[in-house]
Structure 1
């Protein structure tokens, strides 16, 4: 059963369902911060163990994205989206009711795995249901979710914490119930499930490879890269990932319905997008350190340092929908290039200028607008380049590249700053390095296809 593009009214009703699901998953990253001291008190966890409340969510989110997105190609978007939201809600209840810290981490892992699938499946639904000329603006609205989550997360966390940290996770239950109800009513009719065997070998190899790579990246010390890469904590994971890669490629050639279809691996355009996504993810991760940068460089109190991010976040919220609309009109290539240049410019201001509040806010606005201009257009390129049958897998691959970039960026910025004699200088050096990588990505983006007006019209009329 083939999916049909909805008319404007029908697709407009679908978008809030997708928006709410993505928001729920995005909130569960930032909202946990205020609860960490209370969780530590409840379970007596040490600092290293407590960091895994975040870390295990991100790790399993990375693994879940390509696997769940591929299942949405096989089983249909509605069934997989509903399953992700339902299991995410059940895992939220498990976290809130956890008798031990180990059970809490198990719940966070399940949450992360499901959250990894919610966004790429939502993007695939947009590709299925929205006409080509309206996809950019829809993707832009979804992109704005992450800025909204950044603002709402700490606020909701602080309010709900008064009644116990468990409520930060229990709040997902009513939201999930509404999303499930509306998703069952409004998400499009799906095609018949595929009858070819599931590529369990490919799924297993991909999951182990991504988990090993994520562990290695998170454990490496970029301040002493050569020594750290050969350490017992990092080297075995790198070797495991290296062994899994050729085994995965071989398995994909033999699978009836591979989790990473050769169509995705052969596409030069998708390889370019992957490189740009790695640099984009790295820049996104660097933004996490800006409050600490403000503390060391501007002597801002730790309790108010997050407020220094408000101009960046507002630029992200405003810019994402605008970038999506422009991508509909001009094609994604120009918007991607503008986004890369603006993000790199903002990072250069952070790294090269004498740090003042004015320069900090100016750089933040540039970075916010730049990152917002990369969200929808990158996803539009993937929608354009892959067949409908591989649309979910394509978005999962993009999410994986972004996730690897984020993990690398977090380890790189933190490691460089920690190893520097002056922490402010260390942050600036790391941000300059990120700007350089974005410069390379800008050069790479020149090779992206420019869709002519005739080509855009053909896509609008017939879809990808």
Structure 2
């Protein structure tokens, strides 16, 4: 039975598993270093290989799904993910584990590219925002639960359990996707370069991809700066640092579905601007909140930033995808995932560099509290500035599209 609820369940699992694949492996790196007697720089490739494969392949696989049929490729991608996850759990050496993770990344790239693309074929248009919010929630749930789940599994049965326990869930996703998702017919192949030129003429779409990259880069600030600020300025123990850091993904998970419903009611542009405004405001409060206020002074604006991010994600994904022709949904969905991944990766290096420069020391782990606080302040100021650029991009696209509604791309009704 191909009901909307069953289809959304299949898509939710397809969104949950790739994000879980990222976060659950991070917590295992120290254990893997000991198990394989390998330096940290070597075991890092367990994470890097997975992310790099996704980033390199996601657009091409999204386009391939448009050509050969999205259900066929999504089911194939979930199957690859399931087999690769099992191989990772059985890997006898670190090189084979890294190879298994790269193969797992191929499956994850299919899932990340095509899951969002399927929303247009499984959900009524007036409920697109709610579906996007649900998928955002599932991604956040995977990110939030991965470290805790991974830690429990490692303590219970060693590092192999973090893969062997996920493989059955991938099999469930495989069976469900095969049974309930609608078949999409193969389409005549078109030159990808020509299609990209057609798609990139849509100013709303380009604005959505640009702001997605900017906001993703900014969200890395909380992950890059947070541990140093909580430890070096607020003096928290590592266990409490982890608890505070988990507040972000938890809030994002809780906000996703309501944000999607609000998008359906108020329109994508209004909610995109609301989300961006919340991120700017929360970042500025984080920048200038006196350390004397304590943990509450960090957590409350962090909640504002992450909740606003969930609002932005639901609205922006809806705005980007809702009027894309069916023949191009896989390609555009892959581009959306690519913009987010590029933003995350560039944000890690950019914000790390800003933080180090503003702190005035290359060794931030041993920096004084005042130096870390200064680094935190200016890093979040820069973050707010980047999101303000995103606001300008959205407003400019809106003005130009309103001035020439028929000049480029499809009409963006309801936005």
TM-score, length of structure 1 as denominator length: 0.79
1:102 to 95, 101, 105: 95
Q: Is the 8 A contact 1:66 1:117 kept in 2?
A: no
CA offsets per residue over residues 199-228 of structure 1, 9 Å max, x none?
6xx6xxxxxxxxxxxxxxxxxxxxxxxxxx
Is the contact between residue 412 and residue 430 of structure 1 (CA under 8 Å) also seen in structure 2? Answer: no
Corresponding residue of 2:307: 369
Question: For residues 292 and 56 of structure 1, do their structure 2 counterparts lie closer, same or farther at Cα, with a shift above 3 Å needed?
Answer: farther
**Structure 2 spans left out of the alignment, 5+ residues:** 362-370
Taking structure 1 as reference, are residues 108 and 427 closer, same or farther at Cα in structure 2, changes over 3 Å only?
farther
Report the equivalent of 1:348: 284
1:114 aligns with 2:107: yes
User: In the TM superposition, what whole-angstrom CA distance separates every residue of 1:118-171 from its partner, at most 9, and x where no partner exists?
Assistant: 123111111112111011101101101132123311221121102010110111
Q: Secondary structure of 1:194's match? A: coil
2:117 maps to 1:181: no
CA distance, structure 2, for counterparts of residue 313 and residue 297 of structure 1: 22
Instruction: State how far apart, in whole Å, the 2-side matches of 1:26 and 1:365 are.
Output: 20
Whole-Å Cα distance in 2 between the matches of residues 322 and 120 of structure 1? 24
Match in the other structure for 2:367: none
Q: Hey, what's the Cα distance between the residues in 2 that align with 1:34 and 1:310?
A: 13
Residue 318 of structure 1 is matched in structure 2 by: 254
Aligned positions of 1:261-280 closer than 5 A = 261-280=196-215
1:373: Cα distance to partner?
0.7
Task: Quote the residue 1:65 is aligned against.
Answer: 58
RMSD: 2.5
2:340 is aligned with 1:402: yes
Tell me whether 1:434 sits opposite 2:383 in the alignment.
Answer: yes
TM-score, length of structure 2 as denominator length = 0.88
Q: Find the aligned partners of 1:62 and 1:109 in 2 and give their Cα distance.
A: 11
Q: Superposed, which structure 2 residues align to 1:18-417 within 5 Å?
A: 18-161=11-154, 162-191=156-185, 193-196=186-189, 252-253=193-194, 261-289=196-224, 290-355=226-291, 356-417=294-355
SS in 2 for 1:32: helix
- Which whole-Å CA distance do the structure 1 matches of 2:376 and 2:58 have between them? 30
The answer (yes or no) to whether the contact 1:95–1:104 under 8 Å persists in 2 is yes
Cα drift, residue 284 of structure 1:
2.2
Partners in 2 of 1:148 and 1:311 — Cα distance? 12
Unaligned runs of 5+ in 1: 1-5, 203-251, 254-259
Q: 1:463 Cα shift? A: 11
User: Could you list the per-position Cα deviations for residues 86-116 of structure 1 after superposition, in whole angstroms to 9, with x for gaps in the alignment?
Assistant: 1011111222222221221111122223212
Q: For the residues of structure 2 that align with 1:363 and 1:46, how far apart are their CA atoms?
A: 37
| Structure 1 residue 369, shift from structure 2 partner | 1.2
CA contact (8 A) 2:228 2:372 kept: no
Q: How many residues align?
A: 392
Say if 2:54 and 2:108, in contact at 8 Å, map to a contact too: yes
**What does residue 206 of structure 1 align with?**
none
Displacement of 1:71 after TM fit?
Answer: 1.4
Instruction: Describe the superposition over 1:154-205 as per-residue Cα deviations: whole angstroms up to 9, x where unpaired.
Output: 22112110201011011121101111111111001221x23437x6xx6xxx
